[in-house]
Structure 1
C-alpha cells in the first residue's frame, strides 16, 4: 500500500469529496418512521385504513383542539378548527380531513376535540409532513384555545428531533474527551490525531452513502445516530491497534515501508478479522422484519465498512508518508514509551502464579451482575421518552384526561361489513375494552367496515398485550386489529421471536471466524463463550437501572419499568462485536508469540504485554464515547450509552485482561491445539510476520 500511497490518498480525497457533498443532508433526508413488523396484522390494518377509510389509520395526524371553559361548537373554536383544516388541506400528503365528531372525537364536556388528518403517504413521509406543519399549527394556539399535534407520526417527529439534538451534543463532548485519552495513550499529538481523522473520513463517507442509499430505499435516521457512535468508537479502536503496532515496528527499522508491511501483516490481519466479525454480528439483525431495525443495522454496517476500509488503505498510506514523524509533538513522558508494556507483562506473570483466585473473582462478579437479567422486561418506548413540555406529550395527556386512560391507544379493527356485527359483539365482551364505536363503512364502497375500540389501560401498560391476544382470539378470522399501540406490540413480538435465532447465528459465526483465524478450536470456543458473560452482566445492570430505577434520579430520567424493546437485539449484536474485537486483539497477539516461540506461557504473557495497553486505551475511548450519551435527555440514547459503556468496561477488564488470560494459562498448549483433520480443512492464517 505504501508504494502507491499517493494514489490511495488521492482516491480517498475524491471519495470523501464526492460522498461528503451529500453528507450534510443526512439528518434531514433520512426516514423518520419504519417502526413496524412488516408482515404483521397491524400493518395490514393500517394499509386497509389508508386505502379504504380516507387515511384514518395509525399514521394519521391527530390534532387536539383544547378549549378549557369553552365548547367546541363555539364560533371562535370553530374558526380555529377551520384554520387547522386549511393548513393541512393544502398538503397532498394528508388525505381526508375529519373535524371533531360528537360521541367520537369530542370530549363528554364538549371542551376538547380531535381533528383527524388522514394519511395519504408512507409512514416516513407522514413524519416529514408533520415536521413541515408543526410551526404553522403551533401558531394557531391562542385566546384560550390550545393546539396539540399528536398521534404516532407527530410522536416520531418530536422524538427524532430530540434524539438528533442529543446525539449531536454527545458527539461534541465525546470528540475532545476522546482526543485527550488518545494523547495520553499515545503520548504524541500526531499519533493521537490519526485515529480521529481516519474515523472522521469513514463517517463522512458513510453519511453521504446513506443519503444516496436513501434515494433507492428509505433508511431510518436512527441508522446514522447509531453509526456515528459505534463507528467512532470502533474506528478509533482499529486505528489505535494499527498505529501502536506501527510505532513499535519503527523501533526495529528506519524504513517506513517495511514498518507498514510488518504492521499490516500482523495487526492488519487482526483488524480485518475483527471488522468481519462486527459486520457478521450486525448482519444477523437483518432477520428482523422491520424497516427501521433493518436499516439501522445497514447504517452501522456501512459506517463500519468505510472505517474498516480506511483503516486498511488510508491509514497505511498516511503512516508510510509520515514515517517517524508519527511521533511528532510527543509529550515528555512518552519519549521512552515502548509498545511492549512492562506493567502488563508483570500482570501476566501474576495471573500465571495465581490463576484461580482471579478467575473465581471475575466469574463471581459477572454472574452476580447477570442474575437480574432473568427478570428483564422489554417493550417499545412509551410516551415517557418524550419531553414533558412537548406538544405531543401535552396533547397525549389532554386526550387521556378528556377521553379516558386508553384513548391515545385506540384499536382499529378492519373487517368485512358482513362480519361487523359479530366483531362488535366480540369486542364488547372482551375484558379490558372500555368502549366500542359503531361500524363505519368504507368511503370507497369496498365492503369493509372499521370499528374502533378504546382499551381501559394506557398504551404502554403490559396488560394491553393480554387484551390484544384475547380480542384477536374472539373476533372473526377475517378481522384485523391495528392502531399505533398495536403496531408497537406486533413489532415487539417480532423482535422477541427473532432474538434467539439472532443470538445463535452470531455465536456460531463468531466461533467459526475465530476458528479460521486461530486454528485452535478450544480457545476459539472459549473466546466466544465468555463474551456471553459480559453481555449478560451488562443487561443485568441495565435491568436494575432502566427497569427498577436504581440510580435513575442521578442519571436524570424517569424509568419506564422496562428496557426499550429493540435493545436486546441491537445491544447484543453490538456488545458481542466489541467483545470479539478485544478477543481478536488479545488472542492474535498471543498466537503470534506462540507461533514464534512454541511456549504457551510466553505466548500468554507476551500477548498481554503487547496488547494490554491497547485494549485498555481502546476500552477507555469506547467507555468515554458511550458514556457521553448517558448525558442525553431522551431515554433511548441514554440506554444505549450506559449499556454499551458498561459492557465494554466489564468485558475489557473482567474478560480480556483477567478471565481469558487465565484460561490460556490453565489450558496451556491445548489452547492452541488443532486436530490434523481440522488443520487440513482450515485455511493457513498466521499472525507472525516474515
Structure 2
C-alpha cells in the first residue's frame, strides 16, 4: 500500500533524498552569517530601558539639546577621599586629571567642574565631575565601558575615582551579566552533555541538538549584528537567544530523533520513508510548537520599549533558525546517518523503543486514579501560586550591580555626601520665564529634599534639578514625580534616570494585561487549529496559567521576601523587577506550549487512529512522556545554572524559568493534563460542526 504524506512529510522526504543540497544551503548560511557573528557583542546596545514616547524621554532629548548633554545619559564621576578634601593638592590633581580624561573623549560634549553648594559636599571629602553626553544613551554606555578603567587608574594618595550615574550603572551591570552568562555556559554545557547522552542513549544522537544549537547561534548572532546597522538591539537579545537556541534545539531534536528511531528500527521502513513519517508526525508537532513560541514572543512587541522589543526579536530570530534547521537539516542528517544514529550507544539502549513501558505504566496508573492524582497536582500548584497575590514589582535598583563595581561605590558615596535621593535627581526642563514658579512648586513638594538653582540653557530654556528625599528606587519617588507632573505649568517636562525608570514601570504595568491576554488568545487559537478540539485546547492554555502562577509565587518568596537569598548569593530588593511579569510570562508560556503541543499532538494522533479515549491518553504519555521528561531535565539544568552566578536579573530569570519548567513538565504535562484527558473522555476531542467547517484539517498521523 502506498503511504500518503502531507506537506511536512513530503518536505522530509525531499531533504532525505537531497542531502547535499540541504547541507550546502546551511553551510552557506553558516559561513555568511558566521562571518558577522564575532562582531555582535560590541555592536549590541547597553541601554534601551525606556518607555518610547514618554515624557521622561522627551525631557532627556530637550536637556541634551539645550544643556550641553547634561541629561540622564551624562557621565557622573565621583572623586572621594576619607582623609583629604578638595582643598588638598592631591585631591585637586585627581579632579584635574579626571576632567582632562573626560574632555579627551569625543563622546563628551562638555565637562562641568565640581562647585561648592551643588557638587562638592559640605565636608569637602566628595566632589562630582559631570560630563555632558555628545551621543545617544547607548553610545554613552559604551563610553562608560571605555572610560571607567582609565578613570580608575587616576586614583591614588588616598583619593578614589568612581564612574557612576545611569550610563555607568548600565555599563557595570552589562559587564557583570556578560561574565555571569559565560560562567553559566561553562556550568551548563557539561551538565547538558551528560543529560543528552542519557536522554538519547547514544553519543551520535546526542550530538544532533548541539549541531542545531551551534548553527542557530551562529546564524542568530550574525543576523543580530546586521540588525544593529538598522536599529539599536539590546545585549540581552543575544543572552536570551543563546538560552532559547540551546533549549529548543534539544527539545526539537529529542522529539524528532525519538520518532525517527521508532520508524526506522521499530517498523523497519526504508530510511527515506522513516524520515518522511517522522516529519509528517513529530515534524508537524515541532512546527506548531515553534509557531506557538514565536506567537508568544510577538506579543512582547506590544511593549513600546527598545530593550523589550529587541530582546523578543533576538529570541524570535534564534527560534526561526532552530526551527528551520530542525525542519530541513536535521531530517537530512538523519537520513544520511540511518542506523548509525545509534552508534556509540549506552548498553541499555534498545533500538526502536518509541513507546516507553515505564511511562505507559504511569499512564495506566493515572487512568485508574485520576481524581486522587489530579487533586494533588491542583492543590500543590494553587498553594505555590497563592503568594503571587502579594507580588510587588519595581525597576532594578543599584543592588543589581556588584558591590565592588565603580557605579555602586560612587552611588553610595553620593548618597552619604549629598543625601539619600541625590543619585536620582529629578530633572525638570522648562522655560526661563517659568523657572521661578517651577522651583517654588518643587520646593513645596513634601517628597523633595533639596532644589538646585535654575540653570539657564539655549533658546530661553531652563533646567531645575530637584533631589528627592527617598532612595531613587523607592515607590515614594514615583509618587513625587506624579505629583510634580500634576502641579507644574504646561510645557514643563519631568525627566532624569529616576523618571525614566518610573515611566517604564508604569508602561509595563499598563501593558502586562494586554500582553497576557494576547498570548492566551493566540495560544488557544493555535492549539485549536492543531488539535481540532476546543475543550482540550482551552484547558491546555488554562493549565499553563497554573504553572506560571506557581513559578511567580515562588519568585515572590525568593526575590521579594528574600528566602534563600544567602544560598543564591544576592541582596533582595523587596520586589521583583518590573519587566519580569510581562517578559517571563511570554517565555514561560512559550516553553509550556512547547510541551503541550508535544503531549497533545501525540494524544490527537492516537485518538484519530483509535477513537479510544484510554488509548489516546495512555498512548500519549507512553510515546511523548520520555521526551517531555528529558527535555525538561535539560531545560531545568540550563536555567538553574543562570541562578548560580552573576547579578540579580539573570538569577530571577534562571529561577523563575527553571521552576516554571519543572512544575509544568512534571505536575502539569505528565500529571494534570493526562488526568483531564481521562476525565473528559471523548469530550476532549469534541468539535462542533460549524467550527469543523472553518478549521483546516490537521492530522498528526499519516495515511
Shift of 1:686: 0.6
Distance in 2 between residues matched to 1:110 and 1:197, nearest whole Å: 60
Query: Are residue 37 (structure 1) and residue 78 (structure 2) matched?
Result: no
Shift of 1:254: 4.4
On the 8 A contact 2:245/2:318 being kept in 1, the answer is: yes
Q: How does 1:471-620 map to 2 (within 5 A)?
A: 471-620=484-633
Query: Are residue 417 (structure 1) and residue 467 (structure 2) matched?
Result: no
Q: Aligned with 1:537: secondary structure?
A: helix
On the 8 A contact 2:79/2:161 being kept in 1, the answer is: yes
Q: Aligned with 1:405: secondary structure?
A: coil
Residue number in structure 1 paired with 2:376 = 361
Residue number in structure 2 paired with 1:388 = 403
Distance in 2 between residues matched to 1:329 and 1:335, nearest whole Å: 13
On the 8 A contact 1:57/1:483 being kept in 2, the answer is: yes
Shift of 1:336: 5.3
Residue number in structure 1 paired with 2:171 = 157
Deviation per residue, 1:350-373 (Å, 9 max, x gap): 111111011111001100000110
Shift of 1:152: 0.4
Query: Are residue 187 (structure 1) and residue 201 (structure 2) matched?
Result: yes
On the 8 A contact 2:227/2:233 being kept in 1, the answer is: yes
Residue number in structure 1 paired with 2:359 = 344
Deviation per residue, 1:377-398 (Å, 9 max, x gap): 1111111111111111111111
After superposition, the Cα gap between the structure-2 partners of 1:671 and 1:254, relative to the gap in structure 1 and judged at 3 Å, is closer
Shift of 1:335: 3.3
Q: Aligned with 1:574: secondary structure?
A: helix
Shift of 1:75: 3.3
Q: Aligned with 2:228: secondary structure?
A: helix
Distance in 2 between residues matched to 1:70 and 1:552, nearest whole Å: 38
Distance in 2 between residues matched to 1:169 and 1:10, nearest whole Å: 34
Residue number in structure 1 paired with 2:11 = none
Residue number in structure 1 paired with 2:73 = 59
On the 8 A contact 1:105/1:114 being kept in 2, the answer is: yes
Query: Please, which of 666, 670, 674 is the counterpart of residue 661 of structure 1?
Result: 674
Q: Aligned with 1:684: secondary structure?
A: coil
Deviation per residue, 1:312-348 (Å, 9 max, x gap): 1110111010001000001101135711001111111
Residue number in structure 1 paired with 2:219 = 205
On the 8 A contact 2:69/2:134 being kept in 1, the answer is: yes
Query: Are residue 225 (structure 1) and residue 242 (structure 2) matched?
Result: no
Query: Are residue 275 (structure 1) and residue 294 (structure 2) matched?
Result: no
Residue number in structure 1 paired with 2:655 = 642
Shift of 1:192: 1.0
Shift of 1:76: 3.1
Residue number in structure 1 paired with 2:347 = 332
Q: Aligned with 1:2: secondary structure?
A: helix
Distance in 2 between residues matched to 1:523 and 1:16, nearest whole Å: 40
Distance in 2 between residues matched to 1:218 and 1:633, nearest whole Å: 24
Residue number in structure 2 paired with 1:401 = 416
On the 8 A contact 2:262/2:352 being kept in 1, the answer is: no
Distance in 2 between residues matched to 1:176 and 1:356, nearest whole Å: 40
Query: Please, which of 306, 310, 315 is the counterpart of residue 295 of structure 1?
Result: 310
Shift of 1:68: 2.8
Shift of 1:253: 2.5
- State the TM-score, normalizing by the size of structure 1: 0.99
Residue number in structure 1 paired with 2:470 = 457
Q: Aligned with 1:389: secondary structure?
A: coil
Distance in 1 between residues matched to 2:86 and 2:352, nearest whole Å: 76
Structure 2: gaps (5+ residues): 1-14
Distance in 1 between residues matched to 2:489 and 2:512, nearest whole Å: 31
Distance in 2 between residues matched to 1:112 and 1:591, nearest whole Å: 70
On the 8 A contact 1:427/1:474 being kept in 2, the answer is: no
On the 8 A contact 2:456/2:463 being kept in 1, the answer is: yes
On the 8 A contact 1:281/1:576 being kept in 2, the answer is: yes
Distance in 2 between residues matched to 1:278 and 1:52, nearest whole Å: 45
Structure 1: gaps (5+ residues): none
Distance in 2 between residues matched to 1:32 and 1:193, nearest whole Å: 34
Q: Extract structure 1 runs of 4+ deviating beyond 4 A.
A: none
On the 8 A contact 2:240/2:315 being kept in 1, the answer is: yes
Which segment is superposed worse, 80-89 or 513-522? 80-89
Query: Are residue 621 (structure 1) and residue 634 (structure 2) matched?
Result: yes
On the 8 A contact 1:589/1:611 being kept in 2, the answer is: yes
Shift of 1:79: 2.5
